[in-house]
Amino acid sequence: FGGKRDLYEIFGYKSKLEYQDFLARYVRQDIAKRIVKAPPAATWIGKPKITGAGAAFDAAWKKLVTKHSLWAKLEKADRLAGIGQFGILLIGYSDGGALDQPVRSGGGETEVLYLQTYTEGSVNILKFISDPNNPRFALPEIYEIDAADPDTASIKTGTTTVRTKSKTFKVHHTRVLHIAEDTLEDGVLGTPRLSCVYNLLDDLLKIAGGSAETYWLAGNRGMQADIDKEMELTPEDEKALSDEIEEYQHELRRFIRIRGVTLKPMGSDVADPSGVFDVTVSLISAATGMPRRILLGAEAGQLASEQDRANWADRISERQIDFAEPEILRPFITMNVNAKALPEPKEDYEVEWPSAFRMSPLEDAQMMAQQARAAVNLSRQAQFGDPITTLEEARD
């Protein structure tokens, strides 16, 4: 239409989205929270194993994982990074240096004191590395974190505890694990998980909220009082009838005393939103890569189908290999090795992720029964001439 129609304005969509918009969706909207939480939760629920790194590294790594609940912290950092364009994991070291200075790695062993997660809304990148000969060219050098001041008292407001003041402090990049998913031109700013479906989430609110409001207005259909044309009512009778109808409407009484008055229910129609809801949820499912039944949790009282679970497991396996390992886990290990918080692992160490496809106890039992039957059938091969497979092939 030659630019005469602004569809975003017509549909009521926001053209420019900010971090606070995504945070509000995550906190208040059901499906939005599911979209942000589900990928990190599925990624880190199967704790990966570090193999081939050496005995010294294995012992120190096990201690670090146990002491700091590492997998829970990495899952949280991954989740918070998906609300906005990035998130960070602040690693506190016992090197004795200031937070805005590089980690001191020239002395003895360093200990990890704490792991703290922050979202984009609490972090400001103050300085980037401008030297083109630096391996970290165009990457952050100094961060500024706006956190709750631990020296201020807390105020209890209803069920919420709020800090009275905040405190900002600067941090050097050697103490920060920067996490950004689905980056575009640089590796600093990613794409919020809700960005591509934000308009659809608006539509979903309209469907769910509008349907609820329509039902609220039309569920109680109202009454029509027809007074017989031959019936004469005095002003006192009219007031008494009006009072009784009003009391009935407000559930103060469950009967009405009438004579010469016929009460008829007023008709009303409530639209069925299921069709529009299904279309919107299907679009959200396609955009996020989350199968519909995984997104909703269950449909018509049924659990997610095996095909849906298999597709979701493939999606999570790709995320583990292409994002969680190279962008979070290995950089975390490298940072702690450089800070002398972990021994140097062997160069060819591997990260082994467990299968993302998780079977139910019933499926496990069925699989074991099938394997047992296969073992029995293979063991009987020798009774009927030459076996089709060797023992080694049968064991595989």
pLDDT digits (tens, 9 = 90+) for 262-283: 777 766 667 788 899 999 999 9
Q: Could you tell me if 316 and 197 lie in one domain?
A: yes
Residue 386 domain boundaries: 363-395
Which of 212, 231, 266 is the last residue before a domain boundary?
A: 266
Alpha helices (runs of H) in the chain, residue ranges in sequence order: 7-11, 19-28, 30-44, 55-67, 70-83, 198-219, 235-249, 274-288, 292-296, 306-319, 330-338, 361-379, 391-395
**297 is a domain residue:** yes
Number of domains into which the chain is organized: 3
**164 is a domain residue:** no
Question: Whole-angstrom Cα distance, residue 164 to residue 155?
Answer: 7
Distances (CA, A) of 150 to 122, 146, 162: 15, 12, 12
- Output the DSSP codes for 198-209: HHHHHHHHHHHH
Question: Whole-angstrom Cα distance, residue 310 to residue 357?
Answer: 6
Q: How far is CA 128 from the centre of its chain?
A: 30
Contact (Cβ atoms closer than 8 angstroms) between residue 21 and residue 193: no
pLDDT in tens, 157-202: 555 555 556 789 999 999 999 999 999 888 899 999 999 999 999 9
Q: Could you tell me if 251 and 324 lie in one domain?
A: no
Taking alpha carbons only, the member of 388, 25, 80, 372 closest to residue 196 is 25
Q: Is the pLDDT of residue 393 over 90?
A: no
Predicted local confidence at residue 358, as pLDDT: 66
**152 is a domain residue:** no
Helix (H, G, I), strand (E, B) or coil at 259: coil
Q: Could you tell me if 57 and 140 lie in one domain?
A: yes
pTM for the model? 0.79
**303 is a domain residue:** yes
Which of 212, 238, 266 is the last residue before a domain boundary?
A: 266
Q: Could you tell me if 255 and 330 lie in one domain?
A: no
Q: Could you tell me if 121 and 32 lie in one domain?
A: yes
Contact (Cβ atoms closer than 8 angstroms) between residue 176 and residue 88: yes
Q: Which two tokens stand for residue 10?
A: 């017509």
Buried b (16+ CB within 10 A) or exposed e, 359-381: eeeeeeeeeeeeeeeeeeebeee
Contact (Cβ atoms closer than 8 angstroms) between residue 114 and residue 215: no
**138 is a domain residue:** yes
Q: Could you tell me if 135 and 29 lie in one domain?
A: yes
Taking alpha carbons only, the member of 141, 148, 177, 176 closest to residue 164 is 148
Q: Could you tell me if 285 and 378 lie in one domain?
A: no
Question: Whole-angstrom Cα distance, residue 176 to residue 102?
Answer: 10
Q: Could you tell me if 228 and 188 lie in one domain?
A: no
What are the φ/ψ torsions at residue 114 (nearest 5 degrees)?
Answer: -160, 160
pLDDT in tens, 301-333: 455 567 778 888 999 999 999 999 999 999 999
What is the overall mean pLDDT for the chain? 84
Q: Could you tell me if 100 and 245 lie in one domain?
A: no
Rg (CA), the chain: 31
Question: Whole-angstrom Cα distance, residue 378 to residue 374?
Answer: 6
Taking alpha carbons only, the member of 216, 214, 220 closest to residue 251 is 220
pLDDT in tens, 70-128: 999 999 999 999 999 999 999 999 999 999 999 987 767 899 999 999 999 999 999 99
Which of 243, 266, 289 is the last residue before a domain boundary?
A: 266
Predicted local confidence at residue 241, as pLDDT: 77
Measure the CA dihedral 70/74/79/81, to 10°: 140
Confidence of residue 381 (pLDDT cuts 50, 70, 90): low
Question: Whole-angstrom Cα distance, residue 332 to residue 336?
Answer: 6
Taking alpha carbons only, the member of 308, 310, 307 closest to residue 296 is 308
Q: Give the other-Cβ count within 10 Å of 29's Cβ.
A: 17
Taking alpha carbons only, the member of 162, 109, 136, 157 closest to residue 331 is 136
Predicted local confidence at residue 109, as pLDDT: 83
**343 is a domain residue:** yes
Return the amino acid letter for 85. Answer: Q
pLDDT in tens, 18-50: 999 999 999 999 899 999 999 999 999 989 999
**34 is a domain residue:** yes
**374 is a domain residue:** yes
Predicted local confidence at residue 301, as pLDDT: 42
- Output the DSSP codes for 29-77: -HHHHHHHHHHHHHHHSS--EEESS-HHHHHHHHHHHHHTTHHHHHHHH
Contact (Cβ atoms closer than 8 angstroms) between residue 47 and residue 71: yes
Q: Could you tell me if 115 and 233 lie in one domain?
A: no
Q: Which two tokens stand for residue 96?
A: 């004795």
Q: Could you tell me if 19 and 56 lie in one domain?
A: yes
Q: Could you tell me if 288 and 313 lie in one domain?
A: yes
